[in-house]
Structure 1
Amino acid sequence: MAEPIEFYFDFSSPYGYLASCQIDDLAARHGRTVRWRPFLLGVAFKETGQKPLVEQPLRGPYHLHDFARSARRLGLPFRLPTPFPFAAIAASRAFYWLEARDAALANRFAKRIYQRIFGEGQVPADAAALAELAAPMGIDGAALAAGINDPAIKDRLRQATDEAIKRGVFGSPFIYIDGEPFWGHDRLGQVEEWLARGGW
């Protein structure tokens, strides 16, 4: 059985959103599954000395334009939320709490979170908002809200972020195929070709 594709992302990343809508189907076409791995991009920015794209001179206005254009090309809804950028700590903790119980459901919940943020333009920034979002999926909202504040889950997110940075993850999305790194949703074509050809 082939190893899962590793999909690193931050819920505050528009390009991560675009990739999240494609990565599972792409992997399935090549007999792979996906290991979803949220991490905190802000911590990586401290390591690289970068700022969020939209806060960078010249690059910021371009990316604001490109987010929407890229979504239109894929036929995906896109609304930039307010505030933006934002910290996605609670959403990431919610994912890891749920993953420990049901990894497949956690992946679906991650997609729903992304849809709420960039498809609908709303940030579920706290435990109550995430619990409300989880309830229609059959997830115990009260348990999830408690889990977000569990010290063990806080440590799990810190560990996941540290592990990502040690591996060389510096942006979102960041994809590994059998150890081969690809950065950016615009590399998904290369990801697919790599899977089809077995590398080059």
Structure 2
Amino acid sequence: MTRTIDFYFDFISPFSYLAQLKLPEIARKTGCDLEYWPIDIPEAKIAAGNYGPSNREVAPKIKVMMADLNRWARKYDIPLRFPASFTCSDWNCATLYAREQGKAKAFVAAAYNRIWGQGIDPSDREELRACAKEAGLDPDGLITFVDSPLGQNEYRKVRSQAYKRGVFGAPLMFVDDEVFWGNDRLDFLEEYLSRQK
């Protein structure tokens, strides 16, 4: 039976940007399926009982986080630019449309490249439409899904299921009963999967 890596992410998360670059290769090498599940980080924190401020509101923490992100970008040899806004809910919801079309991997990669690689403004619907096209999706169909009660209900359902499972932030990867939090735990994830083959 093929095993599954459940990848929980939010497009506002730069560390999820880093994780999604490596996860497809880890899944390929270990013979796993990779499933993409969008969440809402502020909502996930509250669901887990964490009412603290966001990283952006804690000056010493954001300073260290920025340094770490720049180190990771150099290590992975990738561009890293903070997006013009953090309005990513529509992009998260759009992932579910991409999943239905069998294009989740392509959409997530293209979206992260735009949001954190190029620093676009995720609130710009034209950017979302362009991303859909780049991922081989129908832009009109994607926007219609995101704006529909069906799409919004599906996104609420996925988030609710994630929080019941214990998702409290992102990136977070589940395999079996094991949980791996953060892009810096990907070595542990790969090690675990390799041992279980």
Name the TM-score, length of structure 2 as normaliser. 0.92
Q: Which residue is equivalent to 1:25?
A: 25
Where do 5+ consecutive residues of structure 2 fail to align?
Answer: none
Give the conservation status (yes or no) of the 8 Å contact 1:91–1:125. no
Q: Which residue is equivalent to 1:106?
A: 104
Q: Distance in 2 between matches of 1:165 and 1:123?
A: 27
Q: Distance in 1 between matches of 2:138 and 2:149?
A: 19
Q: Which residue is equivalent to 2:58?
A: 56
Q: Which residue is equivalent to 1:82?
A: 84
Give SS of 1:65's match. helix
Q: Does 1:16 align with 2:38?
A: no
Q: Which residue is equivalent to 1:176?
A: 174
**CA offsets per residue over residues 31-51 of structure 1, 9 Å max, x none?**
112001111112012231133
**CA offsets per residue over residues 105-132 of structure 1, 9 Å max, x none?**
1221111000001111113325432112
Q: Which residue is equivalent to 1:161?
A: 159
1:127 and 1:151, CA in 2 relative to 1: closer, same or farther beyond 3 A?
farther
1:116 to 104, 109, 114: 114
CA RMSD in angstroms comes to 1.6
Q: Distance in 2 between matches of 1:134 and 1:171?
A: 25
2:192 to 185, 191, 194: 194
**CA offsets per residue over residues 117-170 of structure 1, 9 Å max, x none?**
111111332543211222234322112111110101101111111111111111
Q: Distance in 2 between matches of 1:81 and 1:35?
A: 25
**CA offsets per residue over residues 56-109 of structure 1, 9 Å max, x none?**
2421211011111111111121111223xx131100111112222x22x12211
Bigger shift: residues 56-65 or 161-170: 56-65
Structure 1 outlier segments of 4+, above 4 Å: none
Q: Which residue is equivalent to 1:142?
A: 140
**CA offsets per residue over residues 2-23 of structure 1, 9 Å max, x none?**
2211000001100000000000
Give SS of 1:21's match. helix
Q: Does 1:73 align with 2:71?
A: no
Q: Distance in 1 between matches of 2:137 and 2:2?
A: 30
Aligned partner letter, 2:129: A
Tell me the matched-pair count.
195
Aligned partner letter, 1:130: L
Q: Which residue is equivalent to 1:3?
A: 3
Q: Distance in 2 between matches of 1:112 and 1:141?
A: 14
Give SS of 2:69's match. helix
Name the TM-score, length of structure 1 as normaliser. 0.91
Give the conservation status (yes or no) of the 8 Å contact 2:40–2:89. yes
Where do 5+ consecutive residues of structure 1 fail to align?
Answer: none
